[in-house]
Structure 1
Amino acid sequence: MNIKKMITQNNQLREKLTNENKVYYENLLLYLRFEGIMRDEEKIEAFLLEVLQDILLAQQDGISAKSYFGKEPKVIADDFLVTLPRSLWEGIKLFLLVLVSYAGSSILPSLTTTGKPIDIGIMLITSIYAFIVIMASFKYLASTIYKLTVFIKHKVIRLLVLWVVLMVILAPVLLINFWVHTPFKINVNGVLGIVIIMVLWLIGLFFYLRIADKKFWTPFVFVAFVFGVMGIAARLPHLATFINVKSGRYVYAGLMIFTMVIFYLISYLTIRKMKKETNEH
């Protein structure tokens, strides 16, 4: 069974757990997925599914997960992780995912117009920083799952803390893009720019088709499509004048505003639909 099928089956079976067992198991699940970064994901998901099936069998006999295993979920997870060393290949795959994700989110908007080269060096530096942040965040989240954070229970304070943390994390990205310049730049005008857009579309389509639940990503697909069309139009002689950020700045600005409005509208409708489906279950 592949990872996608295991995760889907896990999500379905978890709905059968009692409230007590659900808390026990989901703490185990979150801890393993966070602490298991750079380890074999397939083995982790197989172990999680096996534990879940054991809990459901015990639950049928009226035995709680805690009584069945006789230990805290963190202990079970740590015992399993000892047998599963970190993998360099898993780390490389994660870094490549970060690099592709950042490239897609930063290149496509810059390709909507012409005249500005893409700094590959900055992209690589920022991706390394993002990779380090992700690793540190996963490690921190794993360490706090079984700890009480009483001082941020208030919703407003929690949101404020989250906002400050996000600003601190994003600040270096903005500073890198503003202050750092490298000689590794490529000019993406003309045919090369169109080829890059088409390649990014194909890569994005490949990953999109592999996602089990596509609803969450639909708004981003719309933005990627519109940005790509704008980028191609900006490189076609008969359309370049109308969409250029200088000569056609009003059309360009109007298209950007239109795209963002539709993006937020689709996001709102998608989230509403996902909440409705959750409540129905």
Structure 2
Amino acid sequence: MNELEKNELIETNAVLQKSLTKENDKYYGNLLIYIRIMVFFRDVKKSEELLLEVLRDILDAQEQGLSAEEYFGENPKEVADDIIKQLPINLLDTVKIVLTALAIYIILSILPELISPDEGLDIGSLLIHGSYLTVMAIFALWLLGISLYRFKDKLSKLVLLLLVGLGVSFGFYLSFLVSTPLKVNLSGNLGIATIILISAIVLYLFYKEKDKKLWAPFLPIIVTSAILGILTRIGVFSELLSSKEGKIGIGIILGILLLLQYAFIFLTSKQANK
């Protein structure tokens, strides 16, 4: 799949959506989310092409005074399912998406894991935890997709939210339970060099990323973790930060940054939905 071409389709779609009326925007918006989620095992680029065709049809109908519901019917799920059936299976794209999600998790998690130089980096635990959370993310997206047209009452949505919350909570609990022999000792200069290398990779990826608002909330905790990880490997700071008070201080700092991260993510998603 040509990633650049796919991104151009998505950008064109976003621009044209601005011309929709409020009613048509809601109709098409739900259709768009549903299809993008439910085409997980199918050709993503082809789905974006078909979504663009549907959007242009709605805009043409809008110019003639017809709403999207009048043009496509009162059952948008049927329209969406018909579109999905037209799409060829593309397992390669699916594997790429899963591996990319796992890689992003590991990159975002590895620096906080490296703060303590004595515990070592448990690569096996990172892979297991990352795989679980990747599956949970796919499951949560699937629930979001089916809830658009099937579960519209507040009680059903609350049950789905609690289900996802329990799954994510278990995932965090799992990180404390799982320990594997695949540990790497990254104390001293080797640890400092590793932290600097990973930080450089993260900052480079952020610099190259077009939508920086999506990843900006993660930067404070990543940069702080990198600084703390380096300081815990340097003489004077090592003694201070490895003390009971130092560990409590690190925990408080990371806790505050996590809360700020979630707040930034919430505000960013809220602005994106306006």
**TM-score calculated relative to the size of structure 2:** 0.81
Q: Which residue of 2 aligns with 1:88?
A: 91
| Alignment partner, residue 206 of structure 2 | 208
Residues 273 and 140 (structure 1), Cα distance of their counterparts in 2 relative to 1, 3 Å cut: closer
CA distance in 2, matches of 1:275, 1:80: 29
Q: 1:170 to 1:272 in 2, by over 3 A?
A: closer
Structure 2: 5+ residue stretches without partners: none
2:122/2:184 contact within 8 Å kept? yes
CA distance in 2, matches of 1:213, 1:135: 21
Q: Say what the alpha-carbon RMSD is for the aligned residues.
A: 3.2
Partner of 2:76: 73
Contact persistence 2:143–2:160 (CA under 8 A) = no
SS at match of 1:74: helix
Contact 1:216 1:271 in 2 (8 A): no
Partner of 2:17: 14
Query: Against the structure 1 CA distance between its residues 88 and 203, is the aligned structure 2 distance closer, same or farther, given a 3 Å change threshold?
Result: farther
Deviates more, 1:203-212 or 1:19-28: 203-212
1:183 corresponds in structure 2 to 181
Q: C-alpha distance in 2, partners of 1:94/1:12?
A: 25
In structure 1, the residue matched to 2:166 is 167
Match of 1:120 among 119, 123, 132: 123
1:113: how far off? Answer: 2.1
Q: Bigger shift: 29-38 or 126-135? A: 126-135
| C-alpha contact 2:114 2:229 (8 A) present in aligned 1 | yes
Could you tell me which residue of structure 2 aligns to residue 35 of structure 1? 38
Q: Secondary structure at the match of 2:198?
A: helix
Q: CA, structure 1 residues 89+199, in 2 after alignment: closer, same or farther (shift >3 Å)? A: farther
* Closer, same or farther: CA 40–209 of 1 in aligned 2, 3 Å: farther
Paired-residue identity, %: 32
Q: Could you list the runs of 5+ residues in structure 1 that have no partner in the other structure? A: none
Answer whether contact 1:7 1:45 (CA < 8 A) is retained: yes
Structure 2 counterpart of 1:167, one-letter code: L
Pick closer, same or farther for the CA change 1:46–1:195 going to 2, 3 Å.
farther
2:192 pairs with 1:194: yes
The answer as to 2:61 corresponding to 1:58 is: yes
Amino acid at match of 1:254: G
Compute the displacement of 1:259 (Å): 5.4
Q: In structure 2, what is the Cα distance between the partners aligned to 1:121 and 1:277?
A: 36
* Residue 5 of structure 2: aligned partner: 2
Give the superposition deviation at 1:21: 1.2
Larger displacement relative to structure 2 (43-52 or 264-273) = 264-273
TM-score (ref. length: structure 1)? 0.79
CA distance, structure 2, for counterparts of residue 216 and residue 164 of structure 1 = 25
Letter in 2 for 1:194: I
Q: Deviations over 1:93-132 (max 9, x none)?
A: 2222232233234321121121001222222222222233
- Which range moved further: 10-19 or 181-190? 10-19
What's the CA shift for 1:30?
1.1
Pick the aligned partner of 1:223 from 216, 221, 226.
Answer: 221
Per mean C-alpha deviation after superposition, the further-off stretch among 123-132 and 219-228 is 123-132
Contact 1:25 / 1:52 at 8 angstroms: preserved in 2?
yes
Letter in 1 for 2:225: F
Task: Note the alpha carbon deviations across 1:182-238, whole angstroms, 9 max, x for none.
Answer: 221111112332233233323323442344332343231121111111112222345
Residue type of the alignment partner of 2:169: L
Distance 1:165 1:267 in 2: 16
